[in-house]
Structure 1
């Protein structure tokens, strides 16, 4: 039998060479994976979780002058170096991603720059990992998980992903195939709502402290990587801070504004109640005003003052202690016991609300 040897370039790819699209795969109804190769056969060398910038010739009729540059996280892994892939979700206002879905075809060549970025498990080696993502924020987690799988080592990863419906979970089948053969990979999916007429056995509802504790009871021991919409990542940070997690082991990537270096990393302006900072609560109905620390909850201060606020679970789940805030600001980390609409209307849960300065409540 005659064997044919393919001549591959030994140097890694650099952005002086345009990429050729080789494959396009729909992942969900609005999310596609685009795979590229180097025409010279050069290999791709990067860290799992990094991103590239694509230079796309968007139609000028879309209101853009000339090409448009957009960053996309690599959903592929450097353990498979003959090609790279990006997985993009088309939002209502998408221009570049929608152009790719409508126009990019196998055989076409696109200019790309990179890879770049600091969001990678390679930069923070750990014995245990906790990956938390939502929507298309799953892409860097997929890259890092694929690397872990291909390495042949027994990694300990809890992979938490939030989606609107089960059909919106990107890479679900591939991740489940990994998990079926790797006891060290534990998948934890939560959805806002199940599919009509289909049974859903996973978690349902917004990710919360209670849910996180059930998904990964040893979360305090894990290196956390988080990616998703900004409000989602803020909620995750609030949860972890409230649970006493060491945030030096927390890492996040915004798919809206990925960073290339540590110097570009934005400062996290998280609200962290301080035991030394004084606050004051006025209970307007009772005519009682009392001082406290920011770390005290409204419920605890009310009880010390001899006031009764009906309560149940005391960790923001049941909603029994819902009261109206008249003025001031509180830091509230709840577990689903109050709706966004109620929060906008000024309601709070006394059991998990910390006063930030002077506040007034109807009690």
Structure 2
């Protein structure tokens, strides 16, 4: 995985920024999963800097970047930096010089084929509210006026989907253009600010939106990054059904669950249409779009489907066969489900009844789903 960070440094703060980076890079070198990083300064504009880092995979990077340790590490950079933009890429192919390649063993591509894009960036937030306040919070979040979709000539807020399960809230946004600009735009809207203030008394974690540092820390902790996204049909067919599935993950198993779901969705979407038809479908993919969000042991999978969940229970749950079902079942915690998985200690993903019960328990309740007029 490659992470690219574009940084605008305040004029006159270049030496302080370089010193802060050198301190940070020494600490990052000890983080599990980190391979290397580089710091570059623009030739044309010395205020523009570029940090690139290489990681073994997305989960270790995301675990680190969302950690309290990371927030402490980067604090010295705040006074030097005017603006940042982070981009994350999976490596599809890699080329070496003939001399270097001669000493390397050929490795299969990490990703066999490029994923189809739809021009949108996705991001999610999650937080919990005080038990007993769920209905009040749902009403607040459902009743507010939608913010202006247009951010600037290059950026639009396309869709906001909000779901709840128990006292957990998940809000996913889809943006065309600059995600950071869109999030800042939304935060400045009076109607959004009023909603955020209205739910403050109901939050399990206190926050002060009038304190920029405290607000930034809260939203960093609430961030639920995308670890995988795929689209089978970027044209966004009408009448798609959107579901948000919250997986009851065992402690320490979040990255493994997210990776498994990503692989299973890749298999489901790349399955030939003829094979889908032979399984009883109509030659179309059940999953049109899938996004896996993960932070620590919080794993959420947002799927847009062209059929009800029960048309293909296994695909809807994120497992394509008995082996995947068994592996995922071992990574999940039945005690977190409302029904306790029927009183069993394990989650059954191998039977139709077990899959139905699992999907009933994990399918979050939709609160609101707002789309721009031209979405």
TM-score of the pair, normalised by structure 2 = 0.27
**Structure exhibiting the larger radius of gyration computed from Cα positions:** 1
TM-score of the pair, normalised by structure 1 = 0.28
